[in-house]
Amino acid sequence: MSENDYGFETLQVRAGYKPENHNYSSSVPIYQTTAFNFGDTKRLGRLYSLQEEGFYYTRIANPTTEVLEKRIAALEGGTAAIAVASGMAAITYTLINVAECGGEIAAVKTLYSGSFNLFNHILPRFGIKVRWIEDSYDIESFRKAITPNTKAIFAESIGNPSISILDIEAVAKIAHENDIPLIVDNTLASPYLLNPIKYGADIVVHSATKAIGGHGAAVAGVIVESGKFNWGNGKFPQFTELDYSVQNRNIYEIFPLTAFTTRIRFRYLSDFGAAISPFNSYLIIQGIETLAVRVKQEVETTEEIVKYLSKHPKVSWVRYPSLQNDRNNKLAKKYLSKGSGTIFTFGFKGDQTAINNFINNLKLFSFVANIGDSKSLIVQPAVATHGTLSVEDRNNAGAFPEALRLSIGLEKAEDLIADLSQAFDKVM
């Protein structure tokens, strides 16, 4: 069998690693080094002219990190991946790579606050403009946001904290009709629950800090490309012009299936330098090996907690796509057959003092801004993760004043429900 024939659970522990290439080490080794010996001057020339594959500086590539990249690419069904220092670095490099020289990005408003601020405040200072898609549920809104200068559509597979689901197939069709790629942030779903490339996405980004790593121990980001987009269609001259980073050659011509990530590696990762450490790569690899079993269990627990909260008198609403009355239920059935994820929001009936008391009385839910941990987490997005946004922008993102976001971990469902119950009792 080829690697492409293996199931997800096999790929998560085997893909991208050959022990015979690493002194037959059973576990992926940590290559904790800044640089690699060129060997001799002739080999140096071959490495820099891309005549020979190899490693020479960890900022650009590292054997431990390479295993991580190959494994994520296999799990997402892509041709290549590149790992960087954080999820925000992954998004930044992706957008600059596709829209440099004054391009535009069409983006949904229901974004994680870090992504929203990048679009709204940072990228415009670098000549990249955003055209906001007013209604992510209205497919025509995507079409209306596209102009002749649009270089990509950007959206999250599952919104954070809106928990809205993107109709990937429909949006990909619109993107391709306009010769532009669809970029999907798949952080909340993880490769286990959803593979956007399968439905037409061209680039997938992750904060691997979250479910992929799964233990809240390492910050990392990953960019995956499908290998299917035509970067030589005339809209992206940066991929077909002679490029200094590859010895004044045409990147798309040399690397037709991996042009996007290759260009990021030799330009932005090399020269901007947001490199992931080999040790963090190792920690993320360790997390990947249990991704399926972790997320499966966490989804089951999430569904139990959602049922409990949906009936609680102190809860005004619950946003979770598996609920029959949820606006996203139809899309969840299409895209999330293994479950609707481990993160959801609910509306707390009470003022800010009551919300504060509720959070402060919880024992098993850690009060942190992270998600996707093996431990359960809680946060109030309106005052924490999305606190820097205007009221209008917070509401567009689903960060309503009464909204609390839960990220469910591996604790026993009954214990988490009991913890929520005792905290509710303290404020009723």
> Could you read off the pLDDT of 147-164 as tens digits, one per residue?
999 999 999 999 999 999
**Chain-centre distance for alpha carbon 320:** 19
242 alpha carbon, distance to own chain's centre = 31
Cβ-proximal residues to 24 (8 Å cutoff; 6+ apart), any chain: none
Place of tokens 């919300």: 355
- Read off the pLDDT of each residue in 361-378 and give the average, rounded to a whole number: 98
Asked if 218 and 209 count as a contact pair (C-beta separation under 8 A), the reply is: yes
- Nearest Cα to Cα of residue 66 among 271, 292, 269, 293: 269
Question: Which residue type sits at 4?
Answer: N
Q: What does R_g of the chain's alpha carbons equal in angstroms?
A: 22
Q: Amino acid identity of 319?
A: R
Q: Is the pTM of this model over 0.95?
A: yes
Tokens 């990048």 correspond to: 118
Asked if the model's pLDDT at residue 333 lies above 70, the reply is: yes
- What is residue 227's predicted lDDT score, i.e. its pLDDT? 98
State how far the alpha carbon of 101 is from the alpha carbons of 123, 126, 233, 267, in Å.
11, 9, 17, 15
Alpha-carbon distance of 74 to 80, in angstroms, equals 8
Q: pLDDT averaged over the chain?
A: 97
Cα distances from 212 to residues 9, 67, 120, 408, in angstroms, run: 13, 14, 27, 14
Of 160, 203, 196, 165, the closest CA to residue 405 belongs to: 160
The per-residue pLDDT for 5 is: 86
Alpha-carbon span 101 to 104, nearest angstrom = 10
Residues 9, 290: contact at Cβ < 8 Å?
no
Tens-place pLDDT, residues 55-85: 999 999 999 999 999 999 999 999 999 999 9
Instruction: Report the candidate in 197, 84, 247, 230 with the shortest Cα–Cα distance to residue 239.
Output: 230
Residue 130's H or E segment, with its range, is: strand 129-133
Predicted local confidence at residue 132, as pLDDT: 97
| Mean pLDDT in residue range 345-355 | 97
Q: Look at phi and psi of residue 91 and say left if phi exceeds 0, alpha if psi is from -120 to 50, else beta.
A: alpha
pLDDT, residue 49, reads: 86
Which domains can be identified in the chain, with CATH numbers? Answer: 8-288 (3.40.640.10), 291-427 (3.90.1150.10)
Secondary structure of 157-175 in the HEC alphabet? Answer: CECCCCCCECCHHHHHHHH
- Record the tokens describing residue 332, joined without a space: 């969840």
Q: What is the pLDDT of residue 1?
A: 61
Please state the φ and ψ torsions of residue 248, each to the nearest 5 degrees.
Answer: 55, 50
**pLDDT above 80 (res 370):** yes
For range 110-133, the mean pLDDT: 95
> What is the pLDDT, as a whole number, of residue 309?
99
User: What are the angstrom distances between the C-alpha of 154 and each of 195, 196, 222?
Assistant: 16, 12, 16
- On whether the CB atoms of residues 101 and 238 are closer than 8 A, the answer is yes
Q: Is 90 exceeded by the pLDDT of residue 421? A: yes
**pLDDT at 396 (0 to 100):** 87
pLDDT tens digits for range 25-61: 999 999 999 999 999 999 999 998 888 999 999 999 9
16: left (phi over 0), alpha (psi -120 to 50) or beta: left
Phi and psi torsions of 224, nearest 5°: -120, 140
